[in-house]
Chain A
Amino acid sequence: MSVEIQIPVALARYTGNQESLKLSGASVEEAIRNLTSQFPSLKNHLLDKKGEIRPFVNIYVNDQDIRHGKQMKTALKSGDVVTIVPSIAGGNK
């Protein structure tokens, strides 16, 4: 099961400057786990101490916000695109 994960520019420094990665994972949870084991320094940026997604981190599967669905349990199929974005825009206003 291969999915694409899109990384925000602000985090690309922790993925060797890769903004898009191919990974395996049957759910968002599994894909994020695989991502953070491949790039351990990402972990504290994405997850809180309890291992949950930090409150300002939004995850989309093919443009659908997982918060409005099954959240981390959202199932993935081959070819899905998982996008990680901060809930804000940063920078100015």
Chain B
Amino acid sequence: MRFNYRIMNVLPPLKFSSSLGSTTETMSGKPTSLNRSPLPLRPDEGAPGVLGRIGNTPLYEFRQVTPKNDRVKIFAKLEWYNPAGSVKDRPAYRMIAHGEQTGALKPGKIILDASSGNTGIAYAMIGACRGYQVRLCIPKNVCIERKQMLAAYGAEVIYTDPRKSSDGAIVEAQRLMRENPDLYFYPDQYNNDQNWTAHFETTGPEIIRQTGGQVTHFIAGLGTTGSLMGTGRRLKKELKHIKVIAMQPDSPFHGLEGLKHMESAIVPGIYDANFPDDQVSVRTEDAHEMVRRLAREEGMLVGISSGAVMKAALNHSERIETGNIVVIFPDGGDRYLSESFWKA
């Protein structure tokens, strides 16, 4: 349970506490004071308002969709419990907090980045909380739910050629940055060490705590690779026995939103291909089937990349005798309801 309703209920009515420190808030929630203190690098170290709710997501043990071998258990980090609904709240928060701490991000600057959705939504949420304008380069074929969410948070969107997919968006963001370097704060999530460090500092320790150190295998999909690199590095640092497995789409042409087929894409600067112990791939239709199965058998509405990583975990469970596999479920299925695969 993420929200402590009991405690909230004993607060006197109509009196809201604000943990925004020196910042004064207007009715729209936009900070008006320029000399506020920068965000702490970790959301649980006193981040104001909704930002303090980033991380500490539940670790869920599956009841119905389980391995045939009952000595292997699968657990998932349910990342849609983050305030903007995805795993990307963690790195987006840390990149912005780091920008504030170093002075690279100041009031008045526009947050600019390339994103096919979740990071953009996370920036939009954080930008709304901190009073920054957010400008995102996004391939035009991103599904409608994403576009609507960005608009709802008040972010500005620049659409790029859908045939060039996310790489086209990256190139456009780089171009805008070159044109107007002083106007923007460009976190560049593909090359920013704060991306994987967010997972090293939060996701990794949470998994160790939530499993009592009993996790044996960790599987994550590769997008920017921050989840795999950061969580994996923390797990390897603390647990000698851990195996870290990277999952990718089976082909350059795929429907696993958020994931990259590394061999055919711009490889993120934060990725080290030698780091994972193993590489596995999943076909889009198999991920779709798993998404439907999780909805109908487990009562869990997950995103496509969650279905893909669950498929990878079940495949892997057949190759090991015993173990506790932990996977990351990056987002929920409500972001993909306009897609046609639900009908099957």
Contact = CB atoms under 8 A, between A and B. Distances in A.
A91 B223 contact: yes
A2 interface: no
Given A10-B253, A13-B264, A89 B190 contact: no
B189 A92 contact: yes
Nearest to B252: A10
Interface string A66-93: 0100000000000000010111111111
Contacts of A85: 141, 162-163
A93 B252 contact: no
Interface in A1-31: 6-11, 13, 19
B96 interface: no
Interface centre among B88, B252, B254, B344 (most CB of A within 10 A): B252
A56 B255 contact: yes
Nearest to A49: B285
Contacts, number: 131
Contact of A7 (B143, B163, B169, B190): B163
Contacts of A45: 251, 253
A90 B116 CA distance: 7
A85 B119 CA distance: 22
Contacts of A88: 116, 141-143, 165, 254-258, 304
B135 interface: no
A55 interface: yes
A90 B265 contact: yes
Given A8-B253, A13-B264, A56-B339, A93 B163 contact: no
Contacts of B116: 88-93
Interface residues of B, number: 51
A48 B284 CA distance: 11
Contacts of B258: 88, 91-93
Contacts of A91: 114, 116, 165-167, 169-170, 223, 258, 260, 265-266
B126 to A, nearest CB: 15
22 contacts: A8-B162, A8-B165, A9-B165, A10-B252, A10-B253, A45-B251, A48-B285, A55-B255, A55-B288, A58-B141, A67-B340, A86-B165, A87-B340, A89-B117, A90-B257, A90-B265, A91-B223, A92-B223, A93-B88, A93-B117, A93-B223, A93-B330
B119 to A, nearest CB: 5
B224 interface: yes
Contact of B139 (A6, A48, A56, A89): A89
